[in-house]
Amino acid sequence: MAREATRLSLRARYRRAGQHVLWRNYGWVQLPFTDDGDYQEVAYHRYQRQLLAEELPLLRNLVFPGATVIDIGANLGFFSAILASLVGPTGKVLALEPAPDIFAKLVATMERNGLHQVQPMNVGCGAERAQMTLHQVTASSGNASLVGTGPPGALVEIRRLDSLEAARRDKPDLIKVDVEGFEPDVLRGAAEIIADARPVLYVEMCGEYARTTRETIIILREYGYDTRHVENVAWNSVPNGTNFFFIPR
C-alpha cells in the first residue's frame, strides 16, 4: 500500500509537470520518475534516504576520494551516485547496465546530477561474451534476471569484465555486483581483474537465488576472499536486496 501511495503521488506530480521525465531533488541527488510501470524507480524515491543512511557509512570506510569502483548492474544509477559522491571528481565509477531502457535512465541520471566521474556502459557481465535474454521476474527492473523465470524482455549484450578496457585501465578498489542470481558467471569473467587488483567485493545475495548464492561463496573462497561471515547463513530467509562485503585475505 505504501509503495502504491508513493507511485500515485509521483504520478500526480508527473502529470502536473507535463514533462516526459519528472525529476525530484532530494538534496543529495535528483532522481527521475517516468511513470513507465517500473516499481524499482518508485522504490528509489520511496527509500532513498533510508538506503543512503544504511549504505553510506559502510561504503565510506572502503571507498575514498580518487578511488576507482565498478558498479555491475547499475540500474538507473542510484548506487552509482552514492559511489560517485565518495570517489569525488578525481575518482572513477564504471557503471554497467545491460537493459537499453534502464541504461537510458542511467545516462540521464548521471548527466542531470553532473556526475562526470561516472562512465556508463550498456553491457552486462558474464563468464563469456554472449547475447542473452533478460527475464522480467517482477514489475521492478531491479528484479530482471538472466537466470530467473518470468516473461522474456530485452536481448542484452554480455561481456567478460576482464575483456573491457575501461575496467582494466585502472585497478578497481571496489566492485559492486547486483545481478539477480548471475553472480557466479560475473565472478568467473572477472577472475583476472580480481586477482590483479584484489578489490573489495560488494555482492547482493539472497534466498531467491540460493543455489547460485552458495556457488558464489565457493568461488569467492577460491579467489582468496574471507567468507566466514556467510558460511552459516540460512539463505532461504535472506530477502532480495541484501548486500554483503567480501575482503581479500
Query: What one-letter code names the amino acid at 31?
Result: L
- The pLDDT, as a whole number, for residue 18 is 83
* DSSP code per residue over 99-155: -HHHHHHHHHHHHHTT-TTEEEES-EE-SS-EEEEEEE-SSSGGGEESSS-S-EEEE
Domain boundaries, the chain: 53-246
Whole-model pTM over 0.85 = yes
CATH entry, 53-246, from 1.10.3720.10, 3.40.1110.10, 3.40.50.720, 3.40.50.150: 3.40.50.150
Q: Does 168 have pLDDT greater than 80?
A: yes
Phi-psi region of 181 (alpha: psi -120 to 50; beta: other; left: phi over 0): left
Q: How many residues does the chain have?
A: 249
pLDDT in tens, 70-127: 999 999 999 999 999 999 999 999 999 999 999 999 999 999 999 999 999 999 999 9
Query: What one-letter code names the amino acid at 161?
Result: L
pLDDT in tens, 3-56: 788 988 999 988 888 888 999 999 999 999 999 999 999 999 999 999 999 989
